């Protein structure tokens, strides 16, 4: 009996258990690192960051599941509901995190984050988006802002001044955007003025600049005519052939990057990640008739005296049921830190925290035209409507609402009433 007890004690002593500062225990191997399972989608910046972490960390390794971008949101939510092995994940549609949190899939990070750490700085930079019910839901690694990207060759061919000139003169309003889009549309040259992509965010720019939440986290509905105005702009420009039609993009599955790569699109309104796609597009020989030095970056059009953009940071989360929470936190914390920020900036991506080093690195990939880098990194107000637990349901509703409007099924004088009724239904049922 004594021999059995001694043998049991020896085996118990040899069991590999690593105890971390947060108080949780994680299984590991005495002769190898902790391996975490991490989910993200196909993007030019994601794999290089993961590879860099793995190359510089002996104690933690990331086993990445990189899914197709097109249906990532739906697949991720299905995987979480099935509690598939997953220690951390990147959020693509940021409003999904509220539902995921309410369903118990996200680990709050309050007890993990150290004051003054890179993770703390990233969270504070986007605090209004990251804290819900007092819990920190994730850590931003990429900043969030929408811009106008424009092809200078299209502007030159059509004899139209660059948007930066209108900004300097205080003229870069939404009416001016419509005017410029039409001026850049030339059937003989094959040019099209502008594109606002199919996402629901494309209807919210004016609401954001009017600081209207649409639906806040408490279910309060507050919007004005900015939503209708954005729909009217799209309809007017599509009717004039000056904007790529939403239904065409949906039916063909055409990606916004390909539209810009084709070389005949004057302006594209899209998020902060696009410079990285331009770098990749030039590297892979995808740019048609122009180079990455032939495009520019500027502000969104704005009718208000105080310039405001919108855009949610891109965040990483730890799953609540992970057996490797501390290791998962270490990885997503690194993603928010200076080493990852330098790598991201080198890929043309705007990190959540833009340091002087980030600015210097971005200057190598952002067009060197005296204004693009300044507009990309300028201090600005960021107001993102519809950011809360009702956000995902509202985005889905807007997707179908705007398509129905653009097809002529909803008259202008019924837009606000129908939109209000739809929002009320979402609050009542979610």
Give the model confidence (pLDDT) of 78-107 as tens digits: 999 999 999 999 999 999 999 999 999 999
Q: Domains of the chain (ranges plus CATH)?
A: 20-144+312-353 (3.40.190.10), 146-310+369-429 (3.40.190.10)
Instruction: State yes or no: pLDDT of 3 exceeds 90.
Output: no
Q: Identify the pLDDT of residue 347.
A: 87
Q: Identify the pLDDT of residue 321.
A: 98
| Extended beta strands in 184-340, E state | 192-196, 214-215, 221-222, 265-271, 295-298, 308-309, 314-318
pLDDT, tens digit, 9 for 90 and up, residues 289-345: 999 999 999 999 999 999 999 988 999 999 999 999 999 999 999 999 999 999 999
pLDDT, tens digit, 9 for 90 and up, residues 214-236: 999 899 999 999 999 999 999 99
Task: Return the exposure string of 228-258: e unless at least 16 CB atoms fall within 10 Å of the residue's CB, then b.
Answer: bbbbbbbbebbeeebbbbbeebeeeebebbe
Q: Kindly state the average pLDDT of the residues 7-21.
A: 35
The size of the chain, in residues, is: 430
Parallel/antiparallel/unpaired status of strands 146-151 and 192-196: unpaired
Q: Identify the pLDDT of residue 11.
A: 35
Q: Kindly state the average pLDDT of the residues 9-28.
A: 37
Q: Say what angle helices 226-239 and 174-183 make with each other, to 10 degrees.
A: 10
Q: Which two tokens stand for residue 325?
A: 């929470």
Instruction: State yes or no: pLDDT of 4 exceeds 90.
Output: no
Report pTM: 0.83
* Banded pLDDT at 30 (limits 50, 70, 90): low
Tell me what percent of the residues of the chain surpass a pLDDT of 90. 83
CB count within 10 Å of CB 361 equals: 20
Instruction: State yes or no: pLDDT of 1 exceeds 80.
Output: no
* Banded pLDDT at 268 (limits 50, 70, 90): very high
pLDDT, tens digit, 9 for 90 and up, residues 176-196: 999 999 999 999 999 999 999
Parallel/antiparallel/unpaired status of strands 88-90 and 314-318: antiparallel
């Amino acid at each position: 009996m004594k021999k059995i007890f001694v043998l049991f004690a020896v085996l118990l002593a040899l069991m590999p258990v690593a105890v971390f500062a947060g108080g949780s225990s994680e299984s590991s191997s005495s002769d190898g690192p902790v391996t975490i399972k991490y989910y993200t989608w196909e993007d030019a910046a994601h794999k290089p960051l993961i590879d860099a972490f793995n190359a510089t960390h002996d104690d933690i390794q990331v086993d990445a599941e990189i899914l197709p971008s097109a249906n990532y949101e739906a697949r991720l939510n299905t995987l979480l509901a099935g509690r598939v092995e997953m220690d951390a994940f990147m959020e693509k549609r940021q409003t999904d995190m509220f539902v995921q949190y309410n369903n118990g899939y996200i680990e709050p990070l309050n007890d993990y984050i150290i004051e003054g750490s890179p993770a703390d700085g990233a969270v504070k930079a986007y605090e209004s988006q990251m804290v819900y019910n007092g819990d920190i839901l994730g850590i931003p690694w990429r900043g969030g802002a929408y811009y106008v990207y424009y092809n200078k060759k299209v502007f030159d061919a059509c004899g139209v001044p660059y948007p930066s000139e209108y900004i300097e003169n205080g003229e870069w309003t939404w009416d001016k955007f419509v005017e410029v889009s039409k001026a850049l549309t030339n059937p003989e040259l094959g040019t099209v003025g502008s594109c606002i992509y199919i996402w629901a965010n494309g209807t919210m720019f004016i609401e954001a600049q009017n600081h209207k939440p649409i639906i806040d986290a408490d279910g309060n509905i507050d919007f004005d005519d900015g939503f209708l105005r954005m729909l009217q702009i799209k309809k007017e420009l599509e009717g004039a052939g000056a904007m790529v039609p939403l239904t065409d993009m949906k039916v063909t599955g055409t990606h916004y990057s390909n539209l810009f790569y084709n070389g005949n699109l004057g302006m594209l309104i899209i998020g902060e990640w696009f410079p990285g796609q331009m770098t990749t597009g030039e590297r892979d020989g995808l740019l048609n008739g122009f180079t990455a030095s032939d495009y520019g970056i500027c502000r969104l059009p704005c009718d208000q005296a105080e310039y405001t953009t919108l855009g949610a940071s891109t965040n990483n989360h730890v799953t609540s049921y992970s057996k490797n929470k501390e290791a998962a936190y270490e990885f997503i914390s690194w993603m928010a830190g200076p080493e990852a920020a330098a790598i991201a900036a080198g890929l043309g991506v705007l990190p959540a925290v833009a340091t002087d080093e980030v600015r210097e690195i971005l200057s190598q990939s952002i067009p060197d035209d005296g204004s693009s880098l300044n507009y990309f990194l300028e201090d600005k107000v960021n107001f993102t409507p519809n950011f809360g637990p009702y956000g995902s349901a509202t985005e889905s509703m807007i997707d179908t609402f705007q398509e129905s409007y653009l097809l002529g099924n909803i008259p202008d004088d019924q837009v606000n009433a129908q939109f209000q009724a739809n929002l009320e239904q979402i609050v009542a049922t979610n």
